[in-house]
Chains A and B, each alone.
Chain A
């Protein structure tokens, strides 16, 4: 167990709806990244948050947005859901005093868009 938790575990939404996914990072980890993993593919970077500010973004449209809170937990929001948004959404946290770039993943939220 990495100490990174995500909720909910599974979610089913309809095309056009909005969804919020949540992540609690490992204690002391102030950097959280979000990834999308389509079935049979490797995770794709969505964005990263460091001390409540967005700190890098991948090739995802603006309807993917996020927040990080003072306790370093984070949310991923997706508006206007599309069928292709169906995937496993992973968050990963980093230890600021550990080896650089070691990222520890949570169990993920499986989102199905119908």
Chain B
């Protein structure tokens, strides 16, 4: 079993839709949670960074962590074609060095 599970998609939605991206993880020691966006042939770009459970909002993006169910979500409101990319969830234990990534979900926003 992978430490972080993420549906690879692909996911295709119309412009303006609300997008929900999700991951589950297995290790309750994970404390920090991130979402990265990766455009084709580019490096991952840090979008959201949260500690422990709760919500964090940044513009059209909302990250949600539910540690009781080991569930991580990213919501994108008013989605735009420029949001088309692969979205990677990642997590890390306190004091650890390595980020543990999900497989990534490929998202396409259709104009």
A residues within 8 Å of B by Cβ?
2, 4, 6, 33, 35, 40-45, 48, 55-56, 58, 90, 92, 99-108, 110
Nearest CB in chain B: distance from A106 CB, A: 5
Q: Of residues A4, A42, A90, A100, which shows the largest number of chain B Cβ atoms within 10 Å of its Cβ? A: A42
B14 at the interface (CB under 8 A from A): no
B residues within 8 Å of A by Cβ?
4, 6, 8, 32, 34, 36, 41-46, 49, 88, 90, 92, 96-104
Nearest CB in chain B: distance from A37 CB, A: 8
Chain A residues near B97: list those with CB within 8 A. 33, 45, 48, 55-56
Chain B residues near A44: list those with CB within 8 A. 101
Chain B residues near A108: list those with CB within 8 A. 42-43
Among residues of B, the one whose C-beta sits closest to the C-beta of A10 is B41
List 6 other contacts, CB 8 Å, given A40-B103, A42-B101, A90-B43: A33-B98, A42-B103, A45-B99, A55-B97, A56-B98, A101-B49
Do A105 and B45 touch (CB < 8 A)?
A: yes
Do A42 and B104 touch (CB < 8 A)?
A: yes
Chain B residues near A107: list those with CB within 8 A. 42-43
Partner of B46, one of A6, A40, A102: A102
Chain B residues near A45: list those with CB within 8 A. 97-100
